[in-house]
Structure formats: C-alpha cells, structure tokens
Structure 1
Amino acid sequence: MEKIEDSKKKELSTNRKFLRLFWKLFGAGVAFVILIFAFANWGIFGAMPSFDELENPESSVATEIISADGKTLGKFYLENRVPVKYEELPQHLVDALIATEDERFRSHSGIDARGTMRAIFSAGSSGGASTISQQLAKNLFHGSSGSSNKLFRVIQKVKEWIIAVKLERQYTKNEIIAYYLNTVDFVSNAYGIRSAANIYFNKEPKKLTVEEAAVLVGMLQAPSRYNPRFNPDRAENRRNIVLAQMAKNGKITEAEKEKYQAKPLKINYTPETHTKGYATYFREYLRDYMRKWVKENPKKDGSTYDIYRDGLRIYTTIDSRMQEYAEEAVEMHLANLQKEFFKQQKGNKNAPFIQINQAETKKIIDRAMRNSERWRQMSAQGKEEEDIIKSFDVKTKMAIFTWKGEKDTLMTPRDSIVYYKHFLQSGMMSMEPVTGNVKAWVGGIDYKHFQYDHVAQGARQVGSTFKPFVYATAIDQLGMSPCDYIYDGPFTMPKGRYGIQQPWSPKNSAGKYYGSVTMKYALAQSLNTVTARLMDRVGPKAVIDLCRDLGVKSDIPASPAIALGAVEITVSDMVAAYSTFANQGVYVKPRFVNKITDKNGVVLFESRAETRDVMNKDIAYAIVKLLEGVTEGGSGGRLRYTGSGGAGYHTMTGYPYAFKNPIAGKTGTTQNNSDGWFIGMVPNLVTGVWVGNEDRAAHFKSTVYGQGATMALPIWGIFMKKCYGDKTLYVSDEDFERPANISVLVDCWKRAANDSVIGGSSKRDSLAPPTETVPTEFDF
C-alpha cells in the first residue's frame, strides 16, 4: 500500500511539475506575445506611425488638371492616384469588397478573431485572414515584405494588427473603405479606384456597373494575374467568384448573380499618359508653369509643393468641349490637306523642301539629328560623333505617326526625320475677350511625335494678320475711318525713309490695283500698297508701340516691311491682341488657371484678370467693322455662303460653313506660302489658327493651297460649327456691341451717294469677291 501511495504521490508531483511548467511556458508565451506587441508598438522592430502619420498618412497623390466644366484633362504624377470619398463610391462596389475581402468588416475592430484562429489552425491553407483594415495598414505604412524569413513575417503581421486597430480608432468604417480603395495598385498605371475605373472602363467609380465593380474587386487578390486586359479569362472567372460571394452575403439575389455571371467581360481600356488624351500641349505648358509656381509659392513650413505627389488640384479655364472640338477640327482639316501636300511632293527629289539647294537641306537634317533624342542619349553614353551619325543610316524598327494611327515600320532614323518634315503642323487658341479665359489650346497635331508647342512656344511670321495693327494706328493717329478713301496703286518708299537701305516697292498679291478704295475694302482684299501707304504716314514706331500695348512680346524690327507681316509672333499673343478689338479697346492678358487648391480643398491661389486700356472703344469698334468686311466679301467670305449671295456678293459653292452671324476676322499668308493664318472673332470668343510646316523651306508650291484661307480658315470654320452646334456652350451669334454716339464713321453705306467716278477712277466700297482661287473642302 505504501508503495502504491508513494507512486501516486510521485505521479501527482510529476503532474504538478508539468502543470507548473505548462503554466510557466504558457505565461512565458503570453508574456512573449505581449512583449512582441509592446516592442512592435514601441518601434523596436522598426518605426511605427505616429498619431499625426495616422491622421495624415504619407501617400503619393497625383495633381489633377480640371477643366472649366469640371472634367479631368490630365494629371501630373509618379503614381496615378486621385483619392475619392466614400460618398463617391457605388454601394455595389462596397458590397463586393466586403463580401470578398472581409465578410465581418462591419463587426470587428481591425482584427477578425474568428478568421485569424481559422488561419492559424489551418496553417494558412484556408486564407490569410487579413482584414481590410490590416490590408490598408500594409498598403499605407510598410507594404508587402516579400521576405521568406518567418520571424520577420510574423513581426510584420503583428505591426499590421497594431496599426489596423489604431486605424479603426482613428477612422470610421466608411473612411477605411474609401482609404483602402484609394491605396490599391491596379497596375497599368492605375493607382486607386478612381484611376482604375477610368483606365479600365473609362468612367468615374460612381458609374461602375455591378459586374464592372466585381472585376476591379476581383483584381485585389492579384492585380496582374486577374488583369482584365492581359488575362481576360482569369479576370472573368475571378469576377464570377466575387459575384458569388455577393450572393452568398445577400447583396445580390441568385438570379442577379446568374445574370451578371452570364455577361461577357467587357472593358474600355483608356490609358492615362502624359502624351495621350485631350489638351496634351496645354498640359505640358501648364507643367512648366507649375514648376515655377511651386518655387514662388512655398508651403507654410517653407518646403516646396511637389506637383507629382502632393495632390494639388488645378482648376483651368479650358473648356473640355471646346478643346475636343478644336482638336477634332485640326485633325479633320489637316488629315485632308496633308494628302494634297504628299501628292504635290511626288517627283520632288528634295522633298519636302522647295527652292533650297542640297547643302541647305543637309543643314536642316543635320540640325534635326543633333536635336533628336537619339543623339542626346548616344552622346550621354560617350559615343563618338562619327558613330552617332552612322547610326542614323541604320534601319530600325519604329512606330511612326500617320493620320490613320501609328504604323510599325522599318526605317532609318535619317529617313524618319525627312518623313516627319513633310507634316503640316498647327497652332490654335481660343479665348474669351472679356475675361481672358483660354478655352481651347491645340499646340500641334500629336504630342507623342511632335512636341513643339505652336501656341506659346513657336512664333511664326504673321503675314496679313498684322495689317489691322497698322490700320488701328492710322485711325487713332490720323483720325481716319473705315469709310475713308485711299489710293491703291504702285507705291515706292524711298531709300532712307525710316532708315531703309533700299527703296521699298510692295505689290498686291494678285498684281492688280483698284484706284481709290475705302479702307474697309482695302483690308477686305488685303491690298499691300494701301497698308504700305498707311505705314508711310504713321511710321513703324507708332505701330510697334501699339503692338506692345496689345501684349505682343516678340522683337519687332523698326522697318516699314512689318506692315505686311514680316514679323514673328506667337498664336497666343495674336489672339490676345485681336481680343482687345472685340473687348472695346481693353487688353486682357490670357488666363488659363482659375485657382489651385491642395488635396484637402484649401485654396492656394486664385487668378485675377490683368487688364489695361489700349485704345478708345470707338477705334476698337472701327477695327471690328473693318474685320467684318473680310468675312463679308474678302478672303474670309467663304465662311458665309454655300450658294449665290445677294447684291455685292459672289457665288461660293462647296463651302460647308454658311455662317449668317456677324464675324470679324483676317486671313494671313506669308512669303512662299510657308505660313497660313486665320483669326476669327465673335463677340465672346476669339480664335486664332496657324498652319505650316516645321521648316519654312517645306511648303505648298502655290498660293491656292498655301494661303491662310485654305490652310487655316477651314479649321476655324469646323471648330465654330461644332461650337454653335453645342447649345450648352452659349457662343454668341449676335452683333458686336456698338459704342453709343460713336465718333468714327463705320457705316460706309452712308457714303454710297458719293461713290461716283472721280478723276477718271472708280471709287470702290462694295466688297467684291476674293482675287485668289481657293479650293473647297471637297477638292482634296
């Protein structure tokens, strides 16, 4: 008995020892876990986010460029992310997310205990049990570890738990949902749900359908694996799993699940890049503007805003509808006109250049080679100049621009330079004359292939579009009016006059003279000798002074020849100058930014119109009436008529515009047909268009195709047709405002009784047809 009792005592003692050991080990385990959590919370295993960091987590947010009508034109970013609020998310997207990623999201406090225990006991085979809050913690503060070290992964998971609980205390459930969806990388340069919705479906998140929302939620498990663009079958299968989870959780019915699952996977892939989309040239101009702005407008702590990470919102004056119409107008006309240019270059061994020799052609090509990206990169690699030049004659695979889309081809870089020199380029800007708000900006035909901006960057000779400045100076300084007569005949300015070195004898473009004509008729017909006589009376300095007041920044030589447009000016400066006439003599500096806010909506900058009085409103209105004459019977008359006009007009057939409202405008054509211009005005919109090749030596052979009325005016006509067709734009079709008690005679019909033969020469005031032949839209 004693032996049995001793044995029992020993067994009991042993059990007690094991029990004590168990509790010691258990206590040690609990203490270890507590210490792990404590050490993690104290930052011993790496810094943990502070309260401020939890309140304002560091994330890269794109700067958004917003049009005047509330559309996103583009973004500046390192990560293409623009956050949305919970209210901007459709309920079915939220339901899909919770049903698939975290069924008990609404009931836990950051850690799903049931899911965690299931994951532990199944060794992770039944899922990782990461809640949405934990996934947000990982996305915000340490990302995916990617480490195979189990201890490190455990520590990372502990940190996730701690951060997740803190996030739950800091934010509401709805805020966590929105925050999480804003942090996810959906690949294809889509960071966050808004970019993903726009890139994969070309719509805002709020407009996602149930099945589209299921596609994006399905991507969360493995964005590349379930990418609907590259792996549509996997994406569709994953979408159907998400829909099944929604049905399981009662968010959709079984019938709805089957209906959505039966639908084919459809996406509308719309990549967002700096070279794609609308207003690419404007966006690049805005980027340079913002680089300067952030330097001049630091944060309160003295640091500089980062336009790629700080989530600024730039509210521009650009109207997305007008921008779209402007780009469409350029494409519609130039794609057509380009065919004619290529046709005329056939047989030209020096194509696309005309009237220059091979040596001059070589200089142009050599200059283009040295300015190319290929030359820059090879030079940076330390390549010898001889080797770089040789590389331009080695055939290379490349994607080249065509008006029908990019084309893959095999071509030497030298030949590609010659090919691109063939293309007609364009600069176009549209502006409200009263506010200075720039509504449309087209700097070229394709930013990816042609990055030179012909609106603000490129100044070109303006031709006859300069003449209204001469006329305005004459009306102001000489007290003349559009109805005054002036002699149109051979004219020579003697040597020494205004410092000229040789006698100057300009001729009219058609070689014809009309005797005594009104100023209105002279400008409508763009008579060179009349403009030269006016310049002789007022002198170059007075005209240059007026141009400065009108905002022209280009260097203007003090030469009488500027009267005929021998001066290079940007499209933006020309539009602003003409806008002064439409704005009753008040110059308004072009304005393209309304305001800038930070990512929280705090206004950092608001622009104000910069104005100055330039001329009396009577004089400004007189110029408007002169310019109306250009479209009533001058080179701009083709904007109006598709059939026979009334008395004093001519028959113009084949032109698709048929505008009946008042239009003031001026065409311009430079020597050798290198530059074609048209600037057109209605009371609340002034639009300037330039067309030409990159190099002046490349141009049409004849004025029939090379003049402004053929190259530029049709773009204005197409654009305005589209604008008038959109009744939401409210583009004016009314008369220009006439000053009360105007002191300048502008109603030339009042002199009709005196339009008799004087001195054997017929006085001309009726607006006769243009002297040049102009092809219609349908000739090409």
Structure 2
Amino acid sequence: MGKSKKKQFLKLFLKIIGACFLLGILFFLSVYAGFWGKLPKVEELKELKQAQASLVLDENNELIGKYFVFDRQSVKFEELPQHLIDALIATEDVRFYEHSGLDTRSLGRVFFKSILLGDDSSGGGSTITTQLAKNLYGRDNYGIFSMPVIKMKEAIIARRIEKIYSKEEILTLYLNTVPFSDNTYGIESAAQKFFNCSTTQLNLSQSATLIGSLKASHSYNPRLFPERSQFRRDVVLQQMVKYKFITEEEAREVKENKIALSYQYFNANDGLAPYFREQVRKEAALLVADLKKEDGGTYDLYKDGLRVHTTLNRDMQEYAEAAMKEHMSRLQSQFENAYGKRKPWKNNEIVLESARKLPEYKRLKKKGLEEKLILDSLKLKKKMKVFDWKSEELKNLSTLDSISHYLKFLNTGFVALDPHTGAVRAYVGGIDFQSYKYDHVIQSKRQVGSTFKPFVYTAALENGMDPCTYFSLKAITYEGEEDWTPENATQKEEDIEVKYSLEKALSNSINTIAVKVMDETGIDAVVDQARKMGVKSKLPEVPSLALGTAEMSLIELASAYTGYVNNGVSVQPYLVTKIEDKAGNVLWEHEAENTMEEPAFSENTRETIIEMLKATVDEGTAVRLRSRYGLKNDMAGKTGTTQNNKDGWFVGVTPKLVMASWVGNDDHRIGFSNTGIGQGANSALPNVALFLKKLNSDNEFQSISNAKFQKPSEEVLAALECDPVREETFFERLFGAEAPKKKFGEKKNKGFFSFLKKKNKENEEEKEND
C-alpha cells in the first residue's frame, strides 16, 4: 500500500472515529436533554418517594397484614445486618465503595469480553447505584435503541444519585426498593414474607438466600424452586468467602443446612384474619379520607406506608381460627351425613334459583337465549379449584355442580370482645374468605333465637318481677291475626304440672315461659330495655320477639351482652386504635365511646342475670362446656336455636371476655335436618369452647382464663334462694289456672291465690318496717 493510500485510509479512519465520537456526544446530549424521556432532576432525586405498603398491626404491634400496590415497606440503614450488606456487595458490586456510580473497570471488561469476544462470563457491568436507578424509574422500550438509551439514562441518574446521597443512604434506598420474588418489594417485606421475621433478625443463610434471588427473582424463588434457590445461596456465600467477608468455615456451616422458609401471605384472600383486615381496610380508608398531607394531598392507604394499629390479638386470632376449622370441618361431616340421600343442596329448584342470580346467566339471558340453552352452557364441565375442608383441589365440575358444591357448606361467625373497652380481640367472619366474602360478624343479620331471652328477663327484673316468680311450662295459644302457640324444644308429659323459677326457665331456655315473662312485662318495656343495651336493629313488636325472631348482627349481639360485666353499660365494639403516617406521626386515634352513657339496668339486675346465665353453663343448655370440654373458667352464657334449625347461636361471657358465635347456611332454604345437630349447644357453642381451651393452655392469657366474677350481693343471693322447680299447688290449680288461649298483653284475673300471696307479702313488709 502506497503512502498516499495509507494517508487516505488514516484520514478516513480518523473521520469515522471523529464521527462516532461526535455521534456519541450528540447521543449523550439527546439523552441528557430528555429527548428520550425526561430525566429526574436533582430536586426530585432529593425527595425520592416510593409507594409503600400500609401495615396492619395487632395490639402488640405485630404485623398481621398489608394494603399495597407494591408490597414494600422501608427500613433504616441501622436495621440492615452487616452480613446482608456484605452479601449484596460481594454479589452485585464489589467495588461499590470505590466508584462514583459507574464502575469503569467493569464496563471495560463488559465491552471487550462480552461485546468483542462474546464471553458472557464477564457479567453485566451494572452497579448497585445504576440498579437503584432502574428500581426507581423502570425501563422504557425504545426499539433498537433500547439498550444504549437505557444504559445511558441509568448512568446519568446514578451519577446524580451519588452526588446527593452517601453510600449508606444508597444501600438503604436500594434494599428498600429492589424487587424480590413473589411480587415483593424491599428487604423488609421479603424478610417478613419468606422468613416471618424483620430485617434485623435475618441470619446469614436467609440474607444470602434473598440476595441470591435478585439475579432472577422467579428462577431463584425459594418457595417455588427450593433446590435452585439453595444452589444460588451457596454461590453468594462463596462470593462472600472470595472477597473475605466471611471465612470458608462460616460458609460451610451454612451450606450444610437447607433453606428453612416460614412463608407468610399478606394478600387480601390469604393469611391471618382476612375478614377482620377487610373490615379494617374499609374503616381506615374512611378515617383518612378527609385528612390532608403537608403538601395538601390526600392519603392513599395503598401507597403512603401508613401504620394501622388495631385491637386484634394475633395469638387469640390464631386460636379462634384453629378452633373454627377444627369444629366446622367436623360439623360439616355431621351435617351432610344427617341428610342422607335427601340433600337440599342437590335440589334442582334450589340450584337453578341460585344459577339465575349468576352474572353469566344474566348476560346470556340479556342476549335473548332461552333458559334451556343457558343451562346447557352452565352444564359444561371444566377443571376448577374448589374449597373443601380436606384440601383445595382441582375438580372436573360444571357451573351448576360448583353451585351445588358451595351451597352445602355451613358458614360461621365468631367474635371475642373486651367487655370493658369494646376492643375486638378475635374476629372470624366465615369459613374461607376466598370462597365466601360475606362477613358473618358485621354484615350478616340473622334471627338470634334464644340469645334474646336475657333481654326479656332483664326487662322483667327492671320492671319489678321477683327472681323467684314461678311460671308454668304449659303452652298457651296467643290470639291475633294468626293464632300462635309457642312450644318447648323438649318437654315431658310430667313437666306439665310443674312451675319453673326465672333462673330455671332461662338456664333451660324454656320458650313457653319466656313468652309469658314478656307478656307480664310488656313488649314496649322489652324493646326499650334492648335499646338501652345498644341494640339498634329493628325489633318486631310481636309475641315471638321473646324467642328471638329479631334479626341482628353477631357483633351487635355481643356488644349488648357486654353490659352484664361492665356495670350495666354496653360498650361499642371497635377495631382500629390509631393510624400513623410512615414517620410515626399520629393521624387519627380512637376515643372511648360507650353505647349508652347511663347503665341500662341496676346492679342488682346485672348480678341476677349473671347468676342465671352462670346456671345455663353449670346445669342448663350450655352444660357441655363443663361436661364435654372440661372448662373450669368462671363463665356465663346463653345458647340459641331458631325455628326449623336454621341458625345456631352461643354467647359466652367471662369477666374479661365476651364471645359470640353463629353457625348456619347462607341460603335460608337450607337448615339443619334435626335439632340434635342444629341446636346452638352443638353447632355454635364448640367454636367458643375450643377457643377457650386453647386460651387456657397459654400462660400469656392466664389473667383472662383465671378471672372470677364478683360475688353477688347478699340481697341478690337471698332473692335467688328458692327451689328452681315446684309443683303447682291446689289453690294455683283452682284459682290460678292459665287459660289455654289469650290475647297477648291482656292482663288476666290472677285469682284468689295471687290475692293471698300479695297480702302475705304486704304483711311481711309491714313487719320488717316495724
């Protein structure tokens, strides 16, 4: 090649180099100027804001749930274990403390080995700071220019970040924003989700596992691919050995053990207390809706990292859920077997009526399809996952099959309240939140059955009825638009000629006497009494009200009972104690609120009713708490069963806890096949009994388990000092016989015997006054 040609070639080469350099500068300037998308300015980088999950905390500040768009919660640098930082640096950016955002040595290695020589082993050349830029601002698609534009943008942002923040702050920002497996953002959320601990509690193995998953969050997901994740953990440990962060012996000791996960679900459908968390979400969203931030904006429960403090006790909730699952799975089996071949959930009419409420049915109907064609489409079978007490499993079912499947399940509600404050300590809204979103603690209203009877007896005592007043068990027909004759669940022929005291009648839940007591007291007085105790639901002013035909929510019923251990004052249940922003500033705080300012009844009445309800547990309809479950707690309670065995109820009262349970089928057409299974003592009471047994075995709750009722006054004890059962006397049969038919509320002629009794009482009072 001649000299002239060499010169020409050199000039051409220099021109190409110059053109490339110029193009590079122009490309850099185009990125810097925002031609490829706006770059964050220094002011924006100084105030980095990332969407953070709001935390739901129990009464002891233990995490029980989150509300989030991205599952992220922040930690401070001081909370990061040193081995976690070491694992990150050894694996992702060993010269982190030496560069200013860009590792030129790594970039040079990537250029020559990866690009020119095609060797993938050289790595990606990114730094922790450039990865932070990616975490904060994501990556857009620029077609064939994507990679150079993205890398250039991240490099510019990284240099700006390095000028604003210290290395410690960059590490903190990175670990708070980096995406881990299972759609989890930030180290704290990852630690909570995979190991059920905070970041500060992570050990070396756990730190290495989480850092290892950053290379490919799906491929190295420790939940999905434990062996692959363990291999990656060991690679991280070896990197830590290579760069002298740990010794070979420390690494070997960790490698000998498999990864031990303690996986926690924090989404709406899974995890602890899903019904409670959903109700808290609704309430918290309303509570912060009108609050303003310093910049004038409104708070977002899903993005602002709020801390929602609740009344729930995590351990008590776990016991309540375990008790519910133990009992309801067993009861479901009894329920299905009792029907034999006459299963109502297999009834075509019931299934079809349910099918007609489906959105798919309505959509096809709107299109003008005949019902036969619509039903044919709903009979097509497909694989679907359905709830079952044994396990969730895939089954080959049609839509109509799945309706029948879900119709058969009994549902339940359970709540435990502190009767002195109204704080909700445990809350089970149903058997499975994913399958049954309807909340049976607050949303559902059902007839309360005999759990209403204590309100009737409270009203009677408040209106002057003596606790030792006796009533006959005989049935009476009450005249009206339709004659109504209340009957007792079980009654022997020989019982007809005996009379029960109020205590005996209430503890054994005698229907005929409950109605007679309300007849004597007056419906208005009973309704008024219930209102004083905080009952807000509609109360039908009919004789059957005495037997609990009123519909109430579970939490409303439990609240009304709190007055019996809270000096006659019913408390308003509440779930949220306070809400803080992510900096710990209190935005809202609960203020104690009683349903009624004044006691709803006298102290004598309160003590008397408690004694009657204690008798219900010790020898009445709830005696299986003692006989079958062996509970020795000081306890009062009331069972309830509605007509045709549709609903089973139980309210348990201890000095420091009021517990209410309901069991039934969501479809009112499906009840229990017989009273033996459906009665509250069998269907609802075990939820409370098993919960208390678990509570009793935990030393943390001995103050609740060992709490004792105050001894009633001498006056109350004396008033209750009478035989629970006695036979009718000659004079009662002669002068006080009850008419087989009467109008409700109509005062009858009490006869000669009642006159003598009244006179004797007046004489005794005169002697005492003398």
TM interval, short-chain normalised = 0.7 to 0.9
Alignment of 1:102-121 (within 5 A): 102-121=93-112
198-207 or 430-439, larger mean C-alpha shift: 198-207
- Choose from 132, 153, 165 the match for 1:136: 132
- Residue 662 of structure 1 is matched in structure 2 by 634
Matched, 1:745 2:734: no
Distance 1:413 1:475 in 2: 55
Q: Which of 117, 120, 144 is residue 149 of structure 1 equivalent to?
A: 144
Contact 2:504 2:725 in 1 (8 A): no
The answer to whether the Cα contact below 8 Å between 2:499 and 2:725 also exists between their aligned partners in 1 is: no
Q: Which residue in 2 is equivalent to 1:510? A: 490
1:549/1:370 CA distance change after superposition, 3 Å: farther
Equivalent residue, structure 1, for 2:73 = 82
Letter of the 2:308 counterpart: I
Query: Residue 438 in 1 paired to residue 410 in 2?
Result: no
CA change 1:92–1:171 in 2 (3 A) is same
TM-score by length of structure 2 reads 0.85
CA separation of 1:146 and 1:249: change in aligned 2, threshold 3 A: farther
Aligned to 2:334, what secondary structure does the other structure show?
helix
Work out the CA distance in 1 between the residues paired with 2:579 and 2:388. 37
User: Are 1:607 and 2:587 counterparts?
Assistant: no
Q: 1:486 aligns with which of 464, 470, 487?
A: 470
| Contact 2:70/2:185, CA 8 A, preserved across alignment | yes
Query: In structure 2, what is the equivalent of residue 450 of structure 1?
Result: 436
Kindly tell me: are residues 90 and 520 of structure 1, through their superposed partners in 2, closer, same or farther at Cα, counting changes over 3 Å? same
Correspondence 1:188-587 to 2 at 5 A: 188-299=182-293, 301-348=295-342, 350-352=343-345, 362=349, 364-372=350-358, 374-375=360-361, 387-476=373-462, 478-481=463-466, 483-492=467-476, 494-495=478-479, 500-511=480-491, 512-513=495-496, 515-587=498-570
Pairing 1:41-80 to 2, within 5 Å after superposition: 41=32, 43-80=34-71
Q: Paired residue for 2:764?
A: none
The answer to whether the aligner puts 1:709 opposite 2:695 as a matched pair is no
In structure 1, what residue type is equivalent to 2:716? L
Task: Classify 1:609/1:391 alpha carbon distance in 2 versus 1 (closer, same or farther; 3 Å).
Answer: farther
**In structure 1, C-alpha distance between the alignment counterparts of 2:369 and 2:83, rounded to whole Å:** 58
Q: For residues 624-635 of structure 1, what are the structure 2 equivalents within 5 Å? A: 624-635=610-621
Which letter does structure 2 place at the counterpart of 1:559?
V
Paired residue type of 1:507: E
Compute the TM-score of the two structures, normalised by the length of structure 1. 0.84
CA pair 724-52 structure 1, distance change in 2 beyond 3 A: farther
Displacement after TM superposition at 1:493 (Å): 6.2
More divergent stretch after superposition (594-603 vs 451-460):
594-603
- For the residue of structure 2 that corresponds to 1:487, the secondary structure is strand
Structure 2 unaligned residues grouped into runs of 5+:
734-770
Query: Partners in 2 of 1:467 and 1:286 — Cα distance?
Result: 32
Q: Match for 2:240: what amino acid? A: M
Closer, same or farther in 2 for the Cα pair 1:229/1:757, shift >3 Å? Answer: closer
Percent identity at matched positions?
Answer: 39
Task: Give distance in 2, aligned partners of 1:368 and 1:285.
Answer: 27
Count of aligned positions: 719
Q: 1:731 aligns with which of 704, 715, 736?
A: 704
Contact 1:515-1:762 at 8 Å conserved across structures? no
In the alignment, which residue of structure 2 is the partner of 1:690?
A: 662
Q: Return the offset for 1:262.
A: 4.3
* 8 Å CA contact retained: 2:55, 2:308: yes
Aligned residues of 1:145 and 1:153 also touching (Cα < 8 A)? no
Corresponding residue of 1:645: none
2:179 counterpart SS class: coil
- Secondary structure at the aligned position of 2:540 is classed as coil
Deviates more, 1:626-635 or 1:600-609: 600-609
1:515 to partner: Cα distance: 3.2
CA distance in 2, matches of 1:509, 1:300: 64
Given the superposition, is the C-alpha separation of residues 211 and 510 from structure 1 closer, same or farther in structure 2, using an over 3 Å criterion?
same
Q: Is the 8 A contact 1:584 1:621 kept in 2?
A: no
Tell me: CA distance 1:388–1:73, structure 2 relative to 1, closer, same or farther (3 Å): farther
Q: Which amino acid aligns with 2:513?
A: V
Q: CA distance change for structure 1 residues 217 and 716 in 2, over 3 Å: closer, same or farther? A: same
**Counterpart in 2 of 1:773?**
none
Query: Conserved in 1, the CA contact under 8 Å of 2:345 and 2:351?
Result: no
CA shift at 1:214, angstroms?
1.7
Q: Secondary structure at the match of 2:699?
A: coil
For the residue of structure 2 that corresponds to 1:681, the secondary structure is strand
Is the Cα–Cα contact under 8 Å of residues 419 and 571 in structure 2 kept in the other structure?
yes
Is the CA contact 1:539–1:560 (under 8 Å) kept in the aligned structure 2? no
CA displacement at 1:594 relative to structure 2 = 0.8
- CA distance in structure 1 between the aligned counterparts of 2:204 and 2:148, rounded to whole angstroms: 37
State how far apart, in whole Å, the 2-side matches of 1:320 and 1:400 are.
Answer: 28
Shift in alpha-carbon separation, 1:313–1:387, aligned structure 2, 3 A:
farther
Once the two structures are TM-superposed, the CA of residue 338 in structure 1 deviates from its matched residue by 1.3
Please state how far the C-alpha of 1:518 moved relative to its aligned partner: 2.2
Q: In the alignment, is the contact (CA less than 8 A) between 2:181 and 2:213 conserved in 1?
A: no
SS in 2 for 1:668: strand
Provide structure 1 residue ranges, at least 5 long, that are not aligned to the other structure: 1-7, 642-654, 764-780
Distance in 2, Cα, partners of 1:514 & 1:304: 71
> Is the 1:322–1:439 Cα contact (8 Å) retained in structure 2?
yes
Matching residue of 2:154: 160
CA contact (8 A) 1:491 1:533 kept: no
Is this contact kept in 1: 2:498–2:728, CA < 8 A?
A: no
* Residues 761/95 of structure 1: CA separation in 2 closer, same or farther (3 Å cut): farther
Return the offset for 1:303: 3.9
2:470–2:499: 8 Å Cα contact kept in structure 1?
A: yes
Contact 1:683–1:732 (8 Å) recurs in 2: no
Selected match of 1:181 from 155, 166, 175: 175
SS at match of 2:180: coil
1:100 alignment partner, one of 64, 77, 91: 91
User: What is the one-letter code of the residue matched to 1:735?
Assistant: K
The structural deviation recorded for 1:374 is 4.6
Contact residue 561 and residue 658 of structure 2 kept, 8 A: yes
The structural deviation recorded for 1:65 is: 1.4
Give the equivalent residue in structure 1 for 2:729: 759
Give the letter for the 2:274 counterpart.
T
State the shift of 1:277 in Å. Answer: 1.0
Alignment of 1:622 with 2:622, yes or no, is no
Which residue is 1:646 aligned to?
A: none
Show CA shifts across 1:111-167 (max 9, x none).
3333334334445552332211111111102x13455534x5334333323322332
